[in-house]
Each structure stands twice: as C-alpha cells, then as structure tokens.
Structure 1
Amino acid sequence: MLNKLNYYNSNLLKHKTNKKKIIITVCLLVAIYYFFFLKTGSSQEIGKNKDKILFQDDEQIQLFTMDDKELFSRKNGWNYDELENVINANIADMNQYNYEEKVSKVVWLDHIRPVNENLLRIKNNGKSKNFQNTNSIQHPDIAIITSNKPEYLERLLYNLLLVSNANVQRIHVFHDGYSEISDILKKYGVNPELHVSQYRHVANLKTQEEKLYYMNSHYKEIFNYVFNNQSMDKVIFLEDDLILSPDALKYFDILSNLMDVDPSIFCISAWNDNAFKFQDDLMKTFQDSRFTFYRQDHFGGLGFLLSHQIYTERIEPIWDKISTEPWDTIIQSAMSPGDQCIYPEMPRSQHAPNIKRNYTSVLDHQNEVDHWGFYKMYSDYENIASNVLDLSNLLYHKYDARLRSKIQNATEIDSFTAIPVLFSSTNDFVIYTKAISNSDSRWDKVINDLGIVGRGNGNIVRGIYKGVVETTYMGRNVVLVGEYSVFNNQTLRKTKPKFAVKDIPMPAAESLSGDPLSNAFYYRLKNDAALDLSIAHRGKSCEEHCTDKKQLCKEADMVLLTQPNAVLLMMEDQCESTEFSDSSSESSYLPFHMNDDTCLIPNDFRYLTCTYKPSAQLFGSRICLCRKISL
C-alpha cells in the first residue's frame, strides 16, 4: 500500500512539474511575442492605430492609448525609429496619387488676386458696404480672436477678403463683448460674432494675474468651441492685430497636409520670430526664400494652425482654464520632446500693433511706424505662377538627414567675426557653442551677438531644433550647434579644418588693431568689389539710390555700416566724425550723413532698412551700401 502511495505521489509531482514547465514556456513565448511586436511590429499595423502614440521612457518602448491622461504629464518623447515607422505606415495608407498631391509633388498655384475694389464687388446701400469676394480659395476654418480693438478687426477682415481671398463662410469671429462690432461684421458679411466666455471682458481688470486668468479662460473656451462643440478638423487662429500675406491661407492649407503624415508636427505657424530684413540669405533667390520652411521646438504664434487631434490629445488634457499661466505657455508645455512646429523663412503674417500699418504700407514699402515693420513678409501681388514643391523634406527623418548633411559640409569657424572676412567663400558656416541644454545661458550671448530675438514660451530659444539654430549673418547661412545636440559629431569635426579669426591673414588698419569686429568690417568694405559705398541724394531711400545706380540695396550688406570706426576710415573725406545715433531719434536705424559732416551710425542693426525715406526734419542724407548686380 505504501509503495502504491509513493508511486502515485511521484507521478503527481512529475505531472505538476510538467504543467509548471508548460505554463512557464507559454508565458515566455507570449513575452517574446509581445516584445518582438512592440519593437519591430508591422509598420502597417502601427500606422492604422491612429488613436495610439509611441513614446520612449527610460530606454523602454511603451505603447499608450491616447485615453491615458497620465501620458501627457510624463513628458517623455518620441522614439525616432518608431516615429519613422509611423510616418512610413501613414504614407503606405495613402495611395501614390494622394501622397504626391499632398506631400511630394505639391502644386502651389498662385491665384489671381483682386487688386482694386472693382474686383471685390462692393454694394453701397447708403449705410454700409457689403463685401462679397467671388475669388475665394480653399482653406481651413479661421478663428479670429478679438477684444477691444474694432478698428484692428476691420483691418484684418479687409485684409483677409481683399488680399488673401478668404472664404467668408469659414471666418468665425470670437468676441468678448468689450466693444460693439456688429456693424463691422455685417459690412463684411461675416457670421455674427460668437460669445463663448463665461463672462464679458470688464474694464476693471487691473492686476496682471486678473488679465492672465481672463485671457487663459477666453482662449480655452474658444479652443473648446471650435474643436469640441463644432468638431472642426483644422483651424487657423488669428489675433486681430495681424496682417496676412496674399498666399497665407494657401500656406496653411498646403503645409497642414504634413500633419496627416508626420504626427510629430504639432502646429503650422505663419510667423518667423527672426525674419528681420537684415536676415536675408544673399545666396538664395526670392522664390527659394519664399518656399523654404523649417522645424522648431518652439510653439509659433502670431497666426498658427492646430488640428483637432493635437488639441484633444495633447493640449486639452493639461489645460486648466482657471490657471493664470499665459495661454501660449500652456500650449508650449503640451509639446512633448520631439514635437515641432513648421514655420516659414519668409513670414506669411506680420504683427501690426500700430493701426497705421496695413497691407498697403507693406506692399508699397512705406516708412516703418514701429519695430515690427522691419520684418519681412511675402507681399507679391504681381508674379502669379505655378510651383511644384517637394514637402517630404520636412518629414522628420528627411529633415534630419538634410540638416546633418548641411552641418557636415559647412565650414567651421570660431566667431562671427570670421564671416565678413571669408566673404569670398560659397560655403555655409557652422559655429559650435558650449551650451549644454536649451536653457543654458550661453545661448543668450550668441543670440545677442546676432541681434536676433531670444527666448519665447517656456524659455525656449526661438527657432531652435534639437539643439540647432539655423540663421544668417552678413547675408550668409550660419548653423549654430549646441554641445548637447545630436548633430554635434565630434569625430567628424576632428577630421575637418577649422578657421579661427586670429589665424586668418587680414591686413589691419592701425587705428582698428584693437577692435577685431571693426577691423573685419573695414577689411570687407575695402576689399569686396561687389559693394559700393556712397551717399544718397537728400530725401531718397537707399533702395531708390541704388536703383538709380542700377544696383541693389540689401540690409544684410548694410550690417557693415554699424561700426563707427570702420565707416570713419572708409568715408574720411565725407565724415569728420562718426557716432552712434540717439536710439530715440528717426536716425536710430539709418546710417546717416548730416549737413555738418557728422555721420550717425545705428546702434541696432535689427532695424536696418533700405526703403526708409528720411523726413525733412533730418538735415542730411542716407549713407548707402549698394551691391553691384554684375558681381
């Protein structure tokens, strides 16, 4: 009996052991399959999971559904291998024709725009004018946010309908009831304004905290209305003090297609924080600049487009409308590492807080009335053309490949001072900074030296992309690379020559030997045969003066006229002395020759301009630097 019992127990033990092995084996196979699918799963399946997003956390790949609110506070970031799989899957989901039409072979057809009120049929009934634009184009819905500036709202509506060919049925005006605008909306045929705020704007908002709370609440409710109440797919948001270019709505419509392919594209912005006139790239044609677009880690405002998906999945879950945090900072914080906004080299919007500035003043190059007037904006009415663009280069992996190649082929220099000296080079330049993060204060020194706008929402460097800023200086392309950037290839740098300013042979003027930048500017002015320094006739702009000489005026060249010592040496026959102009005077942005032979030099080259005509109150003429076309 005992032997039978031992035999039974022995078999039972073996059975349990085998069962345990089977369970372990099955679990192991499931784990292997799960891991394999997650790491290398079919790109087709990934692309079809539109409600899911891939992030990287502690070097482990995890798949979260977009319903998981915790996702948005984790602040992880894109795993770029998986992101590329998603992009390729999205492309595969589109048929070849749709992909070419929307991404790789996009036809950008400029529409004939009305140039006078005869083409924008105006019917005057004795009380108001009813505008009917018969030449409207296809574009996403537009949400205009306005408060207490009815004259700005009217300027924007006129601009949208007359210049940008907007479809009036797609314009939605959100008003807080602070001022009466019903007559303006009736005049332009816009649907009645929408009141979505919990309370009206009141005049006794005094503290900054009250104002921020109000703006935050107002914007949040507008976003909720268009994306949740109306379920609009993509929306262009415009504040009332903007001016738009003729092709602004075309820009938004075409560029927004990229968001359907690349989920890391967070927004489309019409604004470029550093599109000063002196930032022209002299190696590019006008058309090249018009169709050059970039990615940046900074949320671009002043005319931007967001999608329903981006709002509901990224922004809304973290937006507390009772917060006093600025609304644009909240949107910036919703961007995960690896999210970017697209923005243009040549802006399609211009911030115009001075009501005297309008589209006509931009088109006709009228004198600037505030510092925003020194920004570029596409404003060509005349050249109606059809262009074919390959926008696939803006998809993250292709964009990175282009940028990496550009940096690898650029000439490394140690200082901006080398650029005016190496003017005969046709290569791009690269400068490596010691900055170890986006927040590193060493970026600020570089930004200040370049005269560009610094930090924006969330203290992010404007225009920065993965530790890289693409900009221009003296009309030449310059790439700034942080030490922490993935594009900082130390191994490659060791194999390439580097130009240090101290090692560049440069005959120095005796009086400038202790001033490297003035010395470099003087060297360039003296030796660049393409440049012609002269004084314009009184009352003429430098653009008119250079045109009379069959030459060109470029603000990028005129940066050379911002060092008094260099100008004094070059113009010793005309200038008895040089001094910086008073920052509050009209000449603060004009190199200017006074009647007493004093030459005034601007102390801020961001506001250099070729088009400004001096007023009669200035007793003298403009100093101009013209570029010879043949050279």
Structure 2
Amino acid sequence: MICKRGSVIFCGILLFISWNAILVILLWGRLPSSKQNAPSRELRPANDVLGDILQVVDTIEVELEKQNQILIQIQKHPLVWEPSNRNKPKGIAPSQPVIPILVIACNRIMVKRCLDKLLQHRPSAELHPIIVSQDCGHAETSEVIRSYGSQVTHLKQPDLSDIAVRPEHKKFQGYYKISRHYHWALNQVFKTLSHSSVVIVEDDLEVAPDFFEYFRALLPLLKSDTSLWCVSAWNDNGRDGFVDPGKASLLYRTDFFPGLGWMLLKELWEELEPKWPASFWDDWMRQPEQRRNRACIRPEISRTLTFGRQGVSMGQFYDKYLRYIKLNTEFVPFTKLDLGYLNEETYRENFKKEVYSAQVVTYEDIRQGLLKGPGPFCLIYSSKDSFKMLAKNLGIMDDLKSGVPRTGYRGVVSFFSRGRRIYLAPPPGWTQYDHTWS
C-alpha cells in the first residue's frame, strides 16, 4: 500500500514501533527462562546473569540505532516526501512570462464575439489572464461581460462624466473619452496589477488561432531590441489578394504604428503616461516625438480582424478596406522559429538589398499586366503626391501620418498584386521621412 503524504509520518512511526516491539520480544526471549534454568540457577554466579542482561541491552541499543537511521532515510526519500509532479497543481514555470490581454470595451454587446475567440484560442489562463476594462456604463454590455464569470477580470472605468472640450471639438467627445479610458485602463494593468507587458485589443476584434503564439514569440525581441516599441497583429494593407497566402509566417518591421491588437511593455507606458494626450491617442503615437525612430513588428497576414463598423470613427475606412482584411487561419509555431532576421541591423540591410535590387517597373506595367517573372518588383515614387496617386490606383491605403505611410518601413510599402510582390518605394538613398507629408 502506498501512503499518502499526509499519513507518511504515521505509517513510518507505526512501522518503527512495531519492528522494535518484535525485536525486544525476540531478544528478551534469549534471556534464561526461570523454569528451564531452575536447577542450574543456584549454580551460576549472579554476575553472569547480569552480564547476559547487559549484553541484551547493548544489542537492543545497536538495533534501535539502526532502526533510527532507517527512519531518517525514510524521511529524506524524495519519492515519499516530495509531491509527485502528477499531483502538483498546474502552475506557471518560472521561465514563462505572463502576458495579459486587455480588452477595451464600451457599449458593444458584440464584445461576446471578441471574448469567445480569445477564450477559444487561449493556451493558458495563467499565462494570459483576460482583463476587460469597460467604459460608458452600458448595462447590456456589462451583463455580457459578467456572464463569463471568473474566466475574465471585469474592470469598470469610474469616471463617466463628459469632458470639457473646445466648441469645435464637441463632435469629438468620444475620442476624448477613449483616450481617458486607455489612460485609466493601462494604469490598472501596469500600476495596480503590476504586469510587465500587455496586449491591447478592442471589443470589435476577432483573433486568429495563433494570436497568443505570435505575441509570446515576439516578447523577447521587444524586450531586447531598443529600436522596437511595439508588436502589432495588424497589417493595414492586409486585404485578401494583397498578401502572400503562402507566407503566413512572414513578419516585418514597420515605422507606422498599426495598433489593432498590439503589445507594449511597462517601460514604454512609464515613458508615455506622463504626457498621454487628451484625445486621438493613436495618431499621437504616430508623431515623431513619441515614435522616436522606433519601429513595430507586424505580420504579412493579420492576426486580428475588425468586425465593428459602427463606432466613434463612423466607419472610416471600414467599407473600403477594413472589412476585407484577411485573418490568418493557419497556426504558425512562432516560438519554434528563428526570428533573428527581425533584429534591426540585419533586417535593415537585407530589406534595402531586397527592395533596390528588384526590377524597377512603372505603374502602367503593373496595370496592364506586363510584369515578367515571379518578382519582386520595385515601383518608385518621388513625392507626396506621386505616392498618394500610386497607392490609390494600386488599391492600398494612401494616407500618411507625419510622413510615414501605412505599413511603411524606410518609406517602403510592401504588398502583393496579382500574385507578385511589389515594393512601392522612395528613390535609393532615402534617409528620413518628411514630417510635413500628411
């Protein structure tokens, strides 16, 4: 019979006492019997009897010491005293970082779709706690979140008051409240709950099957490479037909802050929090004063999909671009891949070589289907106006923020067109963005 840990002491002591009781009885039986030795008892000297007794006592002491040593070995035996790995509660290995998911919610009951997908694909509740921060005080949305019970942590932004804004910004009241909510929620994650990193999603995002794998694999790079300041799951030009379906594992550096499912570290929040803007926080992030020449990682194929047409932006870009974004369906084991190619110096040199050694083509070549070979191909733009014209005609997003095009890296926008890789690029020798381009 195998003793449980709680009864090992009792079993050991019982065995110890039983064994020694038997030992004493056996040894005591070696003493001369009063009946058997009666005839000779008077003939033996008293000191001989005493010697026998002392000899028996010495033997008992030796045996007792042996049994004591056995008991000590029982106490030290790891299989007895240490709990079996099979019986240990499933905890977090010391080397496994905790990356919480912060869901920004307001008044959309469709947050259920977002949470259902997060819970469906989440590999570990311990490694990826889900924190839902709700603004707006919307009762129906609150009830949906509450229905998940202990699967999520439900926080409620306490300040629901209107924000004093300039008269011309009255129609932007929603953007001010969103910025206030982000500020409060990130303080809860980093200051109150003391996490060291977080992935932010909004309540209208659906995540891909390898969403968690993607961020786990890139956290070490984000921590070690000071030229990075975020990891995003989003490709602004990631519509079906504009991405390479055979390159689900392909990742890029980008100078444009993508958002829409992104990871940051506590250190970055400590930098941004004192100057956090009153409104339009995402465009503020794209200003050179905040970006400071740092890049983000983004995928070829998005790991998030937005399904929220209605919101404070009134569906801006949704009908033309966002609704067609391709969501990755193939699980890529990013944590087992070598992602060293994303390190700054290696990536920069390889990317420049790839772009500017590609065959140079014109827009007419692309439009008329005159491209020969598999590519890649390079299409040069020379000004803000030429970039916007080419981007619009090619079907990719044509807006710029502080001179940086969406998905751009060193001014280059990479996308797929009719099954071929196209680089929309500035002339060779590019050095910096013109921040007046907007």
Report the TM-score when normalising by structure 2. 0.66
Would the alpha carbon gap of residues 297 and 386 (structure 1) be closer, same or farther in structure 2, given more than 3 Å must change? closer
Of 253, 260, 270, the residue aligned with 1:312 is 270
* Matches of 1:479 and 1:448, distance apart in 2: 15
Cα 1:185–1:294 shift into 2, 3 Å? same
Pair 405,377 (structure 1): closer, same or farther in 2 beyond 3 Å: same
Distance 1:411 1:176 in 2: 51
Cα distance in structure 1, aligned partners of 2:125 and 2:401: 32
Conserved? CA contact 2:248–2:301, under 8 Å: yes
- How big is each residue's C-alpha offset from its partner over 1:181-225, in whole Å with a ceiling of 9 and x where there is no partner? 2453343533452123433579xx993232222222111111222
**Structure-2 separation of matches of 1:138 and 1:189:** 21
**Which SS does the other structure have where 1:178 is aligned?**
coil
Q: Which amino acid aligns with 1:170?
A: P
2:185 maps to: 222
The CA distance in 2 between the partners of 1:485 and 1:166, in whole Å, is 47
- Whichever structure has more strand as a proportion of its residues is 1
Q: 1:386 to 1:255 in 2, by over 3 A?
A: closer
Superposition deviation, residue 456 in structure 1: 5.6
Q: Match for 2:412 among 460, 463, 468?
A: 468
Q: Structure 2 residue aligned with 1:427, among 352, 372, 375?
A: 375
Per the alignment, residue 193 of structure 1 pairs with: 154
- How far did residue 432 of structure 1 move? 1.7
AA partner of residue 375 (structure 1): I
CA shift in 2, pair 1:485/1:225, >3 Å: farther
> Which residue does 2:203 correspond to in 1?
240
Q: Is contact 1:139-1:252 (8 Å) kept?
A: no
Aligned to 1:123: none
Which position in structure 2 is the counterpart of 1:330? 284
1:210 aligns with 2:194: no
1:450 maps onto 2:408 in alignment: no
Partner amino acid for 1:483?
P
Is 1:301 the equivalent of 2:262? no
- In the alignment, which of 296, 321, 337 is matched to residue 389 of structure 1? 337
The answer for the alignment partner of 1:141 in structure 2 is 100
Q: Counterpart of 2:70?
A: none
Q: Matches of 1:233 and 1:385 in 2, distance apart?
A: 24
Shift of 1:409: 2.4
For residues 530-585 of structure 1, the C-alpha deviation after alignment (integer angstroms, 9 at most, x for no partner) is: xxxxxxxxxxxxxxxxxxxxxxxxxxxxxxxxxxxxxxxxxxxxxxxxxxxxxxxx
Cα distance in 2 for residues equivalent to 1:418 and 1:144: 41
Select which of 172, 176, 185 maps to 2:135: 176
Structure 1's 138 and 158: CA in aligned 2 closer, same or farther, altered over 3 A?
A: farther
Q: How big is each residue's C-alpha offset from its partner over 1:63-85, in whole Å with a ceiling of 9 and x where there is no partner?
A: xxxxxxxxxxxxxxxxxxxxxxx
Partner AA of 1:196 in structure 2:
Q
Superposition deviation, residue 419 in structure 1: 6.9
Question: What SS does the aligned partner of 1:338 have?
Answer: coil
* Contact map agreement 2:243 2:300 (CA 8 A) in 1: no
Secondary structure of 1:335's match?
Answer: helix
Measured in 2, the distance between the counterparts of 1:342 and 1:227 equals: 22
2:376–2:420 CA contact under 8 A, matched in 1: yes
Q: CA deviation at 1:463?
A: 0.9
Report the Cα offset of residue 484 of structure 1. Answer: 7.5
Pair 418,393 (structure 1): closer, same or farther in 2 beyond 3 Å: same
Larger CA Rg, structure 1 vs 2: 2
CA contact (8 A) 2:211 2:303 kept: yes
Contact 1:419 1:474 in 2 (8 A): no
Structure 1 residues 395 and 222: CA distance shift in structure 2, 3 A: same
Paired with 2:273 and 2:400, the residues of 1 have a C-alpha distance of 21
Q: Which runs of 5+ in 2 are unaligned?
A: 1-90, 311-317, 433-438
Shift, 1:418, TM fit? 4.5
Matched residue count: 323
Contact 1:277 1:375 in 2 (8 A): yes
Name the residue aligned to 2:237: 274
For the 8 Å contact 1:165–1:246, the answer to whether it is kept is no
Q: Within 5 A, what are the aligned runs for 1:545-564?
A: none
Indicate conservation of the 8 Å contact 2:110/2:204, yes or no.
Answer: yes
Partners of 2:332 and 2:250 lie apart in 1 by 18
Distance 2:414 2:374 in 1: 17
CA distance in 2, matches of 1:472, 1:183: 40
Percent identity of equivalent pairs: 24
What SS does the aligned partner of 1:272 have? coil
The aligned residue for residue 308 of structure 2 is 353
Distance 1:396 1:304 in 2: 19
Cα distance in structure 1, aligned partners of 2:242 and 2:275 = 36
Shift in CA distance, 188/245, structure 1 to aligned 2, threshold 3 Å? farther
Aligned position for 2:324:
374
Does the Cα contact within 8 Å between 2:239 and 2:321 map onto a contact in 1?
Answer: no
Q: Which amino acid aligns with 1:291?
A: S
Q: 1:385 to 1:419 in 2, by over 3 A?
A: same
Q: 8 Å contact 1:142–1:171 — kept in the other structure?
A: yes
Aligned partner of 1:266: which letter?
W
Decide which moves more: 157-166 or 247-256. Answer: 157-166
- Describe the superposition over 1:467-519 as per-residue Cα deviations: whole angstroms up to 9, x where unpaired: 2112222211111221375389xxxxxxxxxxxxxxxxxxxxxxxxxxxxxxx
Structure 1 residues 161 and 278 mapped into 2: Cα distance closer, same or farther (>3 Å)? same
The TM-score, its normalising length taken from structure 1, stands at 0.47
**SS of residue in 1 equivalent to 2:241:** helix
Contact 1:298 1:456 in 2 (8 A): no
Structure 1: segments with no counterpart, 5+ residues:
1-133, 356-367, 489-631
Structure 1 residues 385 and 393: alpha-carbon distance in aligned structure 2, compared to 1, 3 A threshold: closer
Please state how far the C-alpha of 1:295 moved relative to its aligned partner. 1.2
Cα distance in 2 for residues equivalent to 1:385 and 1:216: 35
